[in-house]
Amino acid sequence: AQSVSQHNHHVILSEAASLELGCNYSYGGTVNLFWYVQYPGQHLQLLLKYFSGDPLVKGIKGFEAEFIKSKFSFNLRKPSVQWSDTAEYFCAAFAGNNRKLIWGLGTSLAVNP
Amino acid sequence: DAGITQSPRHKVTETGTPVTLRCHQTENHRYMYWYRQDPGHGLRLIHYSYGVKDTDKGEVSDGYSVSRSKTEDFLLTLESATSSQTSVYFCAISGGGSYQETQYFGPGTRLLVL
């Protein structure tokens, strides 16, 4: 079955540290990939997405992600985190002809001031 | 933010009572989704709709039904609420010509079943 794995369940960083959150998917064909963010008590918001083209995707709030097909990965990065980045981050994928978005279980990020 | 509202935003109910949650969109998007979010389980799809009167089951549809009589409204009904249905419920919408478009989320409904 197709799946999305987020390896880091909880991450704690200090402000100005660099961030990389892992996301791997299990499908060898065409994929559409997403990262969403959920700030405490709020709904999910789209950070960035990859459908095709340049594998390095830039999103909002200084986030970027790189699609590496050979590694089945779509890791999220930010060079310098802020306290306001404290949130839960979800990776998701459409794979093949699947009508349903496949979700990772999320990574909780806490940034200490 | 996409024009999505959910009502009610908070609800407390008792086991065995029916509950209906409403999702309303102003984007005229074709696809609408109901998810539940629980700690340790991430987001799980309950039901989705691909047009007026066209709906299908997601991965956790037992105990839930949906209806879509208008493009803008997608209703989720818990026929007889149970404590296991205590959760945060999110509606999402997506447009375009394919299922595989970006989904945009509503503010959520917190449901507590006592």
Average pLDDT over residues B21-29: 96
Q: Which of B11, B17, B4, B23 is nearest to B78 (CA)?
A: B17
Mean pLDDT of chain B: 94
Which comes out higher in pLDDT, residue B25 or A99? B25
Q: Mind listing the pLDDT tens digit for each residue in A48-64?
A: 999 999 999 999 999 99
Task: Report the residue of A94, A99, A102, A108 to disrupt the B interface, i.e. the one with the largest count of B CBs within 10 Å.
Answer: A99
Residue A73's Cβ-side half-sphere holds a number of Cα atoms within 13 Å equal to: 13
Question: What are the tokens at B43?
Answer: 């987001």
- A93 pLDDT band (50/70/90 cuts)? very high
What's the mean pLDDT in A74-101?
92
Task: Print the domain residue range for B29.
Answer: 4-97+104-113
Domain ranges of chain A: 4-95
Chain A residues whose CB is inside 8 A of the B40 CB are 105
Q: Is the pLDDT of residue A18 over 90?
A: yes
* CB–CB contacts below 8 A, A to B: 40
Alpha-carbon gap: A94 to the closest alpha carbon of chain B (Å): 6
Residue B84 in 3-state DSSP?
A: helix
A44, A48, A88, A89, best to mutate vs chain B, most B CBs in 10 Å? A44
Q: What is the pLDDT of residue A99?
A: 79
Residues of A with Cβ-Cβ distance to B100 under 8 angstroms: 32, 94, 99
**Domain count for chain B:** 1
CATH number of the domain where residue B51 is located? 2.60.40.10
Confidence of residue B1 (pLDDT cuts 50, 70, 90): low
Q: Which CATH architecture has domain A4-95?
A: Sandwich (2.60)
Write the pLDDT tens digit of every residue in B82-94.
999 999 999 999 9
Task: Say if the Cβ atoms of B48 and A100 lie within 8 Å.
Answer: yes
pLDDT, position A8: 86
Using pLDDT thresholds of 50, 70 and 90, give the confidence band for residue B2: low
> What are phi and psi for residue A110, nearest 5 degrees?
-115, 125
Nearest C-alpha neighbor of B43 from the set A86, A21, A75, A6: A6
Longest dimension (CA), chain B: 41
Q: Note the pLDDT of residue B57.
A: 95
Average of per-residue pLDDT across A92-113:
90
Chain B residues within 8 A of A36 when measuring between CB atoms: 105
Asked if the model's pLDDT at residue B5 lies above 80, the reply is yes
Phi, psi of B113 (to 5 degrees): -110, 115
Model pLDDT for residues B66-82, shown as the tens digit of each residue: 999 999 999 999 999 99
> To the nearest whole percent, how much of chain B has pLDDT over 90?
89
